[in-house]
Amino acid sequence: MAHHFARGLLVLTALSVSGCAAFSPDSGMSAVSELTSQTINKDVAFVRTADGAGAVDERVRQLLSRTLSLETAVQIALLNNKGLQAAYNELALAETDLVEQSLPPNPVFSISRISGNGASEIERQVVGDILALATLPFRSDIARERFRQAQLRAALATLRLAADVRRAYWRAVAGNEMVALLTDAKATAESTAQLAVKLGETGSLNKLDQAREQVFYAETTADLATARQMAASARERLARLMGLWDGGLDFRLPNQLPPLPRRPQALPSIESDAVAHRIDLQIARLELNALARSLNLTEATRFVTLFDLAGISRRTRDPEGAPFREHGFDVQFQIPIFDGGEVRVRQAAETYNLAFNRLTERAVNVRSEARDAYRVYRSAYDIASHYQREIIPLRKIITEEMQLRFSSMQVDIFALLTEARQRLASLRGAIDARQRFFLAQSDLQTAINGGAALTPGSDNSTTIAAAAPADAGH
């Protein structure tokens, strides 16, 4: 009987193995690439060999050879960021769990020999976990759900890295533009301060007016130093996200932000789009499905959690008689006297309810985040557009008119300098407004596809708050 049982156990195991999962050639990366390409249309690569690393290095060098655009910076990060590669390693580990959970339990073979007084007994057993074998299809389905979650988490890490690169890129470029503006302003302020000193020496300018010109130069110098530090920090953050070593830190960035688009995006169905496309919501849904399957399995096995069946073959040799063989079987199962599985069922049910409530909360938050991100985006566009259409052109007209009046000696040099300070404040405000628009645009895309957008007001601007001087007193 043990012989037939062992043979049957091996046959059943072979049939189970025929339906188990196997390792994929790319560790599930095809799904990640498909998910991310729908949103950012960029290449992703899981670097696992020396040849693959060499190909990535060459591609990165080519991309760094020219001035970085936003899309180029995102592509470099997706290929070269080691934190993202670690996320892909986690995906590969999740695939090993899938394969492991889809394999039937290994049968256990044991042999024992007992002898004494000339007699001996040899016993062989083949033990199989029947319960684990019976629940294999259910456990395999749950593992597949978990692996799908891991694929979505890898895709989410990819999209979030792209979003971080977009924010860092706009801050770095805005920092460059602010440094250029303040460098010119400092040169003008320095010339004005020197002129004030000379006029003071001749008695044409009192100490109060001299001090006003000197403090404007001093403040502009401090602002320039702050702007340079912030631009350098923004550049370093971008370099970190792109995974650049020392050799790639000399990359080139544009000197100023691009102009605003002609019109803002119209997204009437932004809430439904966010609920349908947000990957973190898809992960939560899969988690809920996996927990539902796990709950059904727990209820089905609540009374019996151990069921082992062993086939036994025993050979006994007695010195007073002929050797003889014995066959039989051994069954082990748990008797649910004290624990009828109620604890496990209650734990599984509460875990499912917890996941359901978290999913519902996440869906509510996603809709709110999408609405808020779009409001911030439209507001940022309107403010930046107002600077571009109204404030800057009016400042240009005022500057031209003041220069005409100065040429005809209707106003003095100090009125002209006061207007120059006010125009500088407007230009700084315009740079800050354009930067906020592009950051809001990145946050809007993130709110729809790849994770929660930043809370308004939590983003530290890379520009320096500028306010027009109240009154120069001239």
pLDDT tens track of the chain, all 474 residues?
A: 445 544 554 444 544 444 556 778 888 888 888 888 878 888 898 998 899 899 999 999 999 999 999 999 999 999 999 999 999 999 999 888 888 877 777 777 777 777 666 666 766 766 666 656 666 676 777 778 788 888 888 988 999 999 999 999 999 999 999 999 999 999 988 888 887 788 788 877 788 877 888 888 899 999 999 999 999 999 999 999 999 986 567 899 999 999 999 999 888 888 888 877 788 887 777 777 777 776 665 554 444 444 445 555 666 666 666 665 666 655 554 555 444 556 667 777 787 788 788 888 888 888 888 899 999 999 999 999 999 999 999 999 998 888 888 788 887 777 877 888 899 999 999 999 999 999 999 999 888 886 544 344 444 443 343 333 434 444
Question: Tokens standing for 82?
Answer: 């080691």
Check: CB of residue 189 under 8 Å from CB of residue 224.
no
Please provide residue 244's backbone torsions phi and psi, each rounded to the nearest 5 degrees.
-85, 135
Q: In what order do the strands lie in the sheet with 119-129?
A: 108-116, 119-129, 307-317, 324-333
Check: CB of residue 72 under 8 Å from CB of residue 135.
no
In the prediction, which pLDDT does 198 show?
A: 82
CA–CA dist 37, 30 (Å, integer): 11
Long-range CB contacts for residues 2-6, cutoff 8 Å, separation at least 24: 2/124, 2/125, 2/126, 2/311, 2/312, 2/313, 2/327, 2/328, 2/329, 3/311, 3/313, 3/327, 4/311, 5/126, 5/309, 5/311, 5/329, 6/107, 6/126, 6/311
Half-sphere exposure of 163 (CA within 13 A, CB side): 23
pTM for the full predicted model: 0.76
Alpha helices in 301-412 (DSSP H): 342-386, 392-407
CA–CA dist 242, 80 (Å, integer): 6
CA–CA dist 25, 113 (Å, integer): 47
Roughly what angle, to the nearest 10 degrees, separates helices 342-386 and 279-300? 170
- Side chain identity at 435, as an amino acid letter? Q
In the prediction, which pLDDT does 290 show?
A: 73
